[in-house]
Amino acid sequence: MKLENKTILITGGTGSFGNKVAGFLEKQNPAKIIIFSRDEKKQYEMHQEKPNYHYVIGDIRDKDRLNRSMKGVNYVFHAAALKHVPACENYPYEAVKTNILGSHNLCEVAIDNNVDAVVALSTDKAVKPVNAMGISKSMMEKIVCSQNQQQIYTKFACVRYGNVMGSRGSVIPLFKKLIKQNKPLTITVPEMTRFMMTLDESVELVLHALTNAKGGEIFVKKAPATTILDLAKTMLKKYGDGNFNKIKIIGTRPGEKIDEVLVNEYEIQRAIETEDFFKIMPEYIDFKLNNNYPSAYEYTSANTKQLTMYEEISELLDRVGNSELYT
């Protein structure tokens, strides 16, 4: 996939992923990188660091604004979303308007403007969803991946992440802040597991999807996982005084899962697996089912490679670097 002299639009471009992927893209000598988001403060701050990008204030709920911003665009990375689980539980229709209707707007505008490819970012919470945020992202996947049933020019695909280390709103920046303030680390359930993927690896997944999509697929990158308790202990030892008595158990929040599921038992049958990735084929394509797993098997943060030792979790934290840089 050659990105040189191409125009790339990133919705939600001021977020953690947008910052990271834009930094990679600018090294490929694109014609233009367009940062499309509704947060003027974050755009101002990003512009101070990256003045060569083209910034557009807009909301994916506004189809006309999207359409004007999509002129001449070759590739779209769709990262705009409402992703805070409690907020979406309290205001579910706001999640519908952004994650579902806004994503539908983006698909129609991309088709109308003959965009080459669209890659949309999704989440483990879209798999067998139990909360409003997950339901809305599951519908986003359905909308995006259904587009290539039509005879259209634009290729559509999704990627799914579990926990992205150091991203805005994730647990690692929170734990660092609490350690710095000498406050207890609040964890939900000690045995709760979460995938451990760096932002660099999230960019790798999106570029893999952009390169390998034929239309309608969902791409998943394999990643190790750890329990919240082991992560908290490692961070207290690495960044604090190592006093494990500072860990406070508060119980699960509304809509929160104990383990993350990235490929469910139905999708695994339609998945092409390599050493590092799953590619889930759309149901509307004839496909030889994958019979490598028992019927109830799912790819989850409980059955992937488990990180339990201080040294291996600490090494991952070193790779994340200074998470405060990720807005």
Q: Give me the amino acid identity at 192.
A: M
Identify the active-site residue in 83, 125, 221, 279.
Answer: 125
Residues 6 or more apart whose Cβ sits within 8 Å of residue 214: 148, 155
Distance from C-alpha of 161 to C-alpha of 125, rounded to nearest angstrom: 9
CA distance to 22, 43, 73, per residue, from 29 (Å): 11, 22, 15
* Terminal alpha carbon distance of the chain: 28
Q: In the annotation, is 233 catalytic? A: no
Map residue 107 onto helix, strand or coil.
Answer: helix
Q: Where would I find the H helices in 27-91? A: 40-49, 63-69, 85-90
Residue 70 near residue 10, CB atoms below 8 Å: no
In Å, how far from its chain's centre is CA 156? Answer: 16
Q: Which secondary-structure segment (H or E) carries 118?
A: strand 117-123
51-57-59-60 Cα dihedral, nearest 10 degrees:
-50
Mind telling me the catalytic residues? 125
